[in-house]
Amino acid sequence: MSSPFSNIAFDSICCGVRLIPFTPFHFGPGVLVKACSPRGFWLTSFVVANVLIDVEVLYYLRNYDPPIHRHLHTYLGGTAMGLLAGLLMFGVVQIAVRCRPAGWRWVRQMASTTIRRQLCESVIAGVTGGVTHIFLDSLMHDDMHPFWPFFEGNTLAGVVGVGALHIGLGLTGFFGIVIWFLTPEK
């Protein structure tokens, strides 16, 4: 069976360019969750997962090689990138904790959380970022095969208008920031 990611008409790249989500829109739901659950949700892992996945789009756009949404824009690839982001940020935080003064509030907060729990929180946030990225993109891009390698095609493409989707994501980010600043204890 040939790959579903090949033999795509040239104009799909033009469509892809037009509908590319500005990656920060994906951060909105993460900011909202972070605002509602400040200590237990690693927003950095969520954000890094989203950025890693869209590196694929940038790579194929730069090389003018459609389709621009391939293996990383599947639930399998998105979950893998989320896992990678979670492990990456967990490692970065472990180094950062050792480089910062022990009296820092953030360092004391991290010290009060077990390593195992930190790892779980980071990985869960990363995988959440990866899975939500694929779901949100699958509403927009008809060159995606989100359930590859099990199913081909993307029946969700176009279910929600691009404008409505961007407004909705922008609002989640906006309300997340408002709640974050209004919450005294973080």
In the complex, the residues that contact Zn ion under the rule CB under 5 A are: 54, 137
Three-state DSSP at 113 gives coil
- Cis amide linkage into residue 149, ω under 30° from 0: yes
Compare residues 81 and 123 and give the one whose CB is closer to Zn ion: 81
Least separation in angstroms between residue 55's CB and Zn ion is 9
Nearer to Zn ion by C-beta: 65 or 106?
65
Q: Which amino acid is at 116?
A: R
Least Cβ distance, residue 69 to Zn ion (angstroms): 7
**Non-local CB neighbours of 164 within 8 Å, separated by 6+ positions:** none
30 closest CA partner among 20, 21, 40: 40
Q: Which residues touch 97 (CB under 8 Å, ≥6 apart)?
A: 107, 110, 111
Closest approach of Zn ion to the CB of residue 140, in Å: 9
- Quick check: 143 and 65 in contact, CB under 8 A? no
Q: What token pair was written down for 99? A: 């480089």
Residue closer to Zn ion (CB basis): 70 or 90? 70
> For residues 121 and 137, which CB has a smaller minimum distance to Zn ion in the complex?
137
**CA 88 to CA 2: how far, in whole Å?**
33
CA dist., res. 93 & res. 5, Å (int):
36
Least distance from Zn ion to the Cβ atom of residue 58, Å: 10
State in angstroms the smallest separation of the CB of 31 from Zn ion.
17
Nearer to Zn ion (CB atom), residue 4 or residue 35:
4
